[in-house]
Structure 1
Amino acid sequence: MFGFIHESIRQWCYQKYGEDAWIAILKRSGFESGKENIVNHYYSDQDTYILVDAVSTVCKMTREEVWENYGAFVITYIMEAGWDELVRSMSPNLKGLLDNLDSLHYFIDHVVYKANLRGPSFRCEDNPDGTITLHYYTGRPGLYPIVKGILREAAKKVFKLDIAIDIIGRTQRSVQMSTGERIEEHVIFQIKAQNTNQSNEDALGALPKQIESSDYQLRLSNKDFVNTFPYHIVFDRDCKLIQVGREIYSLSESDFATNPNQFTQSQHLKLKGQMMIMSGGNIIMYLCSPDVTSIPELLQFGMRMNSMPLHDATRDLILLNQQRLSDVEMKEEGSVKHFSRRKSFSLQLESNNEQLEQMAKDLEVEKGKTDALLREMLPPTVAQQLKNGLSVDAREYEEATIMFSDVPTFQQIVPLCQPKDIVHLLNELFTKFDRLIGLQKAYKVETVGDSYMSVGGIPDAVEDHCEIICHLALGMLMEARSVCDPISNNPLSVRCGIHSGPVVAGVVGTKMPRYCLFGDTVNTASRMESYSPPGRIHCSETAKLCAEKTGRVEFEPRGKVQIKGKGEMNTYFLIRSFKLSIWEITSRARGLIWSLDEKRFKVYFPDEDVNSIDGYQELRNSIVDDIIAQKATKGSRNCVIV
């Protein structure tokens, strides 16, 4: 069906039920917003039925009620759209309007939309009581409620008349068309006027009075009739031709009766006119004229201007149209090219609109990716300030906790591996660390090589910042065990350094802004990491005291350690948290263990009996393994007592 129908349905739903209802209708029908109401597009009947069924469900109406309400609305819609003069000029009464509906459909299909479509057909009968019997024929069964809605509203708006419409018959039959077989529905309506002082005859326009000047009856011979009306066809109740006009006879092939197939399949002149039932009801006459609008069409069928009767307006139509074509041809070639360019531009504009819609959707997706990347580079609050065009001033935090972590054996691994293997190793390790950052609500500052810097209490100040970082460090040690050293295929070991103190934070750079931390706390945390044995979490005394304020954690004294640039410092090893188990920190199942298969891929097995309840025994065992491996390494100068 024409997109006009979809657009008018949308307008009706918007006015009566609102935008939210229409969005629900589109979602239910599967239409994409903006693609459901393209006026010049021709939608399949199935698409229209799906849309109407969605309206029926959302608006809680039967399909018949939807069609009838739509029929009433469409009269108002087309009259407000500028077609009111055409509707009012068709007839002074309702019957005349119904008699002209077929010609109106022909005009819309063939002139407005230039589509060779077969619309519905209407036929009126006058009844002795002044009512009208309307016969409605259509190849789309089930649409008859539209007719009821249209007739009621048209009678009310155009003729100020209330009418009652009753269905007195409805049948379906199979009709053989030139394009194949189709189901045709025949619905019979009875129409009568209501609440009017006029009779049905005057109100509806039925049974016009006969006016005769005398008793004289004009009689035409067959010869006079076929010459006066050269384009007419008369046939009886059995559809047998009784008489045709002079010009129709001259245009017919002599063998069309003996060779009907060839005659039917060839191209012929189209005739438009009116069917008239002669007195007695046994004969029908089709009084018509050729459907040609230009001289080239006239010549195509071997006709000349004298083929048209002088009283036939088709002559004037052909001459006027020919004059219009001549005026167009006389215009400059540039004007023709300009028109062609405009038409091409219009088509290109429509195509560009569709591309722009798709680009807008793609842009939203990319914008989401950009925002996500920006949130990775900067804290969300800082990123939002920069997006809004605001400046971000440096801020001093009285206390925050910073942690550095790295892979102690990284420098021994690099010379023995391909670059892509190193990238894969760090990507796997840092992806696991990033997940822990999200779980513990910490902030990842940056990564440089194998070094991973994170902070708690920045940019949003929190009281338990050190406890957060302690949990993060314990999780990192455990998660690193699931990453393999590409050289030895043993679980990877990392070390961490933690320190708490005052920090200054701010955005550095404009082209590629970075959120940076400054202060002695940063340097001290880096020293804690540098002086940490593999597989351990090395903490300053300040960090220990800060963690114990809010958390229940266990530390192991390391004693005094000579720190470069700091002198002797009391430091500690973080052992465990009494608040959270390793499984809670890493959000892993307790019994999930892994081993390497024959292709050196990790395979996970669920077995709760293998692991301890809190997971710290496994973490302790891995630390011991690292120390043993370190002692066994030749040339090692480090000595760690556990």
Structure 2
Amino acid sequence: MYGMLLESIQHFVQLEYGEEVWQRTLILSECKHIVFNTHQVYSDHIMGSLATSLATITSKSYESFMIFFGRCFVRFFSNYGYDATIKATGRYFTDFLDSVDNIHSRFRISYPKMQSPSMYLAEVDINGCVLVYRSLRQGLTYYVMGQLDEIANEFFNLKLETTVVSTQNHLSNGKNATIVKLRLNFDNSQYMASRQNEAASIDRHLAPFSCDLLFELFPFAVLFNPVMTIVGCGGKLVEVAGGKEKLLGKYVTTYFKLRRPKGICFSWKNAFYLKSVMFEIEVLRVELMKSRADETGKNEEKADCDCLGDDLSNGGNRDIEIDGKSISPYTSRRDSQPGLRNILLKGQMLYLKDINGIIFLCSPVVNDITELPDQGLYLNDLNPHGLSKEMVLAGWQNSSRLQLIFDKAEQRASELENNYSLLNTWKRRGDDLLYSMMPRAVADRLRAGQSPLSTCESFDAVTVMFCELVGFNSSTVQDAMELVSTMNAVYSCFDSLVDTFNVYKVETVGQIYMAVSGAPERQKKHAQNIANVSLCMVKHVRQLQVPSGTKVDVRIGVHSGPVVAGVVGIKVPRYCFFGDTVNTASRMQSSSELGMVHISESTKKLLPKEQYILRNRGKVKLKGKGDVNTYWIFENIYNDEEYVETY
């Protein structure tokens, strides 16, 4: 499907549900496209995946979102001016339904790869109509229902009620096609009254005229009788066939294949009752060439009314010889062989009561002037009284300009998609940098627009740790390089440890590493977290292989108490901690010893007794505190009460 359908979904989902829901939908549906290009063709399954994902996110039904998508498309294409085509189709909603196939055919010039469905009216009454919808795509019935409901409401001011009468699957050309019969209930009284007035005003006393006049006006027309044999044809069609005797008296299904309406048989009954529907019939050039090459061919068999997609059996599978070359009918039927490509005729079936026949008034479909040689046609073969020549020439003149515009649009869409990808990459890098400078919760509050002053908080109980690296000598430049390399290895190890124990790394100043637990996320086990990470630091730093081979050791100090924290700075903002607890923890570190974890009395009271070995160090003089009682802490590998406290 073309990107315009998916563009409409993206636009209105973002508009009505928000950007966050759309991003979640893309992730859940595993859609790799960030933006959709209008004229680019995408996989058909994307729409269904988006509807399924939205239904999961919003707890609504899949069908409701498919109806929503259909309405979105109608609202979206109005921005391109396509609503003018619908408004100009007819006075009534039924006129529009009767011309849907014609609308799709007009848009094939702008969207040549469009695989449009086939729709035709089976019944029309004062309360509405029955619409037959056929498509090779699966699961788009509710999407079509949403489109019809929006068109009826917005363009014709009608309240439409749609119900599915029947659904069946049909195998066509190896593909599973869906045929759905829809009952559309709406006020159709004005249309029915206009049809009655039109029928009453027809002048039934026109002078008779010859069918040759119709064949002159429509040189590709075909006239057939109730038994589906050809009784007349236009002059240009005779030239294509190589003579009138090749066509007259032959069954129409021998050399002609029904393309639209889809899902029906090419029979007298359907041609008679669907005379208001646009028909597309394909001229089988290879079958005509075979009849020329084989004058002694087999007797014609009456072709039964197989549905669309069944191969015709007359003539067999034998290759034909053209210009000394053997050509398979199946390869040449679709390939662009000069003068052999099938001709597609589009027009209307008209019943002639006087001769009890149906004439197919049609013109060949030529999208571009380059198709004429492939079909063996010339400009003077086209209908002289129509606009076929002008459309072909105008399309040829504008095709290069349109192609250039489409190429530029696709290029810009690709660039935009790449820019979105780069934007997400740099945004992720920016987030990582921001989260390395301050806690995620605080950073998210600042990104939400809150003032930096709002990040200032007081915490009644946290545990602060200072760790000093010991064993460095940087008297030379080489020593300094080794120092940086060694500290990088040690600090990287510490960073992984603090993440494991739910501890926040505050900063590193030279050879001092500071960490806190209990802020900015409050938690009860803050002292236990710091004790665990401190003991792991002592153990890991001794086992760590540093680049310089220098023996590195640490001394750690820990203290618990209240602090105040907040974001400080403009150019390089940091989340900093203030208070006497920070100062005391620093003094505990400076008075510690190598390979030891030095804790205060307040921290000791918060630790579970069965998990650690605590040894009383005795009185230690701290600056500004005097003599205080402190402890050494060790991991209790025995987990036994006997080793808990030693004084």
- Please indicate, yes or no, whether the TM-score normalized by the shorter chain is above 0.5: yes
Corresponding position of 1:363: 426
Corresponding position of 1:264: 333
Corresponding position of 1:255: 289
Deviations 1:558-581 (A, max 9, x none): 6899x9xx9xx96866246xxxxx
CA distance in 1, matches of 2:588, 2:62: 75
Is the Cα contact below 8 Å between 1:173 and 1:183 reproduced in 2?
A: yes
SS of 2:239's equivalent in the other structure is helix
Letter in 2 for 1:287: L
CA distance in 1, matches of 2:485, 2:62: 65
Is the Cα contact below 8 Å between 2:498 and 2:533 reproduced in 1?
A: no
Corresponding position of 1:174: 171
Is the Cα contact below 8 Å between 1:134 and 1:189 reproduced in 2?
A: yes
Letter in 2 for 1:271: L
Deviations 1:217-249 (A, max 9, x none): 3333x6x65444311123456755444321122
Corresponding position of 2:3: 3
Residue in structure 2 matching 1:117, options 115, 136, 155: 115
SS of 1:136's equivalent in the other structure is strand
1:537 deviation in Å? 6.3
Is the Cα contact below 8 Å between 1:403 and 1:453 reproduced in 2?
A: yes
Q: Does 1:574 align with 2:631?
A: yes
SS of 1:113's equivalent in the other structure is coil
Corresponding position of 2:508: 446
Distance 1:285 1:248, change over 3 A: same
1:529 deviation in Å? 6.7
Residue in structure 1 matching 2:203, options 195, 202, 212: 212
Corresponding position of 1:273: 347
CA distance in 1, matches of 2:534, 2:165: 82
Distance 1:46 1:340, change over 3 A: closer
Is the Cα contact below 8 Å between 2:502 and 2:529 reproduced in 1?
A: no
1:250 deviation in Å? 1.2
Distance 1:98 1:256, change over 3 A: farther
Residue in structure 2 matching 1:426, options 482, 485, 490: 490
Residue in structure 1 matching 2:363, options 275, 281, 289: 289
Corresponding position of 1:351: 414
Q: Does 1:140 align with 2:145?
A: no
Distance 1:549 1:256, change over 3 A: closer
Corresponding position of 2:220: 231
CA distance in 1, matches of 2:157, 2:441: 69
Is the Cα contact below 8 Å between 1:536 and 1:573 reproduced in 2?
A: no
Letter in 1 for 2:110: V
Letter in 2 for 1:311: H
Corresponding position of 1:26: 25
CA distance in 2, matches of 1:305, 1:431: 78
CA distance in 1, matches of 2:52, 2:483: 60
Corresponding position of 2:235: 246
CA distance in 1, matches of 2:167, 2:544: 81
Distance 1:611 1:168, change over 3 A: closer
CA distance in 2, matches of 1:219, 1:364: 76
CA distance in 2, matches of 1:390, 1:55: 37
CA distance in 2, matches of 1:239, 1:125: 24
Corresponding position of 2:176: 183
Is the Cα contact below 8 Å between 2:368 and 2:395 reproduced in 1?
A: yes
Is the Cα contact below 8 Å between 2:534 and 2:597 reproduced in 1?
A: no
Distance 1:447 1:31, change over 3 A: same
CA distance in 1, matches of 2:43, 2:450: 47
1:114 deviation in Å? 2.8
Q: Does 1:202 align with 2:193?
A: yes
CA distance in 2, matches of 1:71, 1:403: 61
Is the Cα contact below 8 Å between 1:232 and 1:244 reproduced in 2?
A: yes
CA distance in 1, matches of 2:393, 2:111: 24
Percent sequence identity is 20
CA distance in 1, matches of 2:527, 2:127: 93
Is the Cα contact below 8 Å between 2:14 and 2:22 reproduced in 1?
A: no
CA distance in 2, matches of 1:470, 1:152: 64
TM-score by length of structure 2 reads 0.60
Distance 1:120 1:558, change over 3 A: same
Is the Cα contact below 8 Å between 2:347 and 2:363 reproduced in 1?
A: yes
CA distance in 2, matches of 1:245, 1:420: 92
Letter in 1 for 2:49: I
CA distance in 1, matches of 2:145, 2:12: 17
CA distance in 1, matches of 2:48, 2:566: 60
CA distance in 2, matches of 1:530, 1:167: 82
Distance 1:89 1:167, change over 3 A: same
Distance 1:271 1:31, change over 3 A: same
Is the Cα contact below 8 Å between 1:175 and 1:182 reproduced in 2?
A: yes
Corresponding position of 1:311: 385
CA distance in 2, matches of 1:493, 1:245: 102
Corresponding position of 1:47: 46
1:184 deviation in Å? 3.1
Find the structure with the greater CA-based Rg. 1
CA distance in 1, matches of 2:161, 2:516: 80
SS of 2:219's equivalent in the other structure is coil
Corresponding position of 2:538: 480
Q: Name the Cα RMSD after superposition.
A: 6.4
CA distance in 2, matches of 1:277, 1:9: 44
Q: Write out aligned runs for 1:508-587 (5 A).
A: 534=594, 574-575=631-632
Residue in structure 1 matching 2:639, options 593, 597, 611: 611
Is the Cα contact below 8 Å between 2:9 and 2:69 reproduced in 1?
A: yes
1:144 deviation in Å? 4.4
CA distance in 1, matches of 2:156, 2:552: 90
Q: Write out aligned runs for 1:126-137 (5 A).
A: 134-137=131-134
CA distance in 2, matches of 1:190, 1:437: 65
Distance 1:506 1:82, change over 3 A: closer
SS of 1:42's equivalent in the other structure is coil
SS of 2:102's equivalent in the other structure is helix
Letter in 1 for 2:91: P
CA distance in 1, matches of 2:93, 2:227: 32
Is the Cα contact below 8 Å between 1:559 and 1:571 reproduced in 2?
A: yes
Identify unmatched segments of 5+ residues in structure 2: 243-287, 295-319, 321-327, 454-461
CA distance in 2, matches of 1:97, 1:548: 84
Deviations 1:469-528 (A, max 9, x none): 9995797357524554579x9x9975457899xx9x99999988999999xx99999998
Is the Cα contact below 8 Å between 1:434 and 1:444 reproduced in 2?
A: no
1:105 deviation in Å? 0.7
Is the Cα contact below 8 Å between 1:98 and 1:124 reproduced in 2?
A: no
Identify unmatched segments of 5+ residues in structure 1: 330-335, 392-399, 461-466, 577-581, 584-589, 594-609, 621-641
Deviations 1:309-332 (A, max 9, x none): 43233244456567x56xx99xxx
TM-score by length of structure 1 reads 0.60
Distance 1:446 1:114, change over 3 A: same
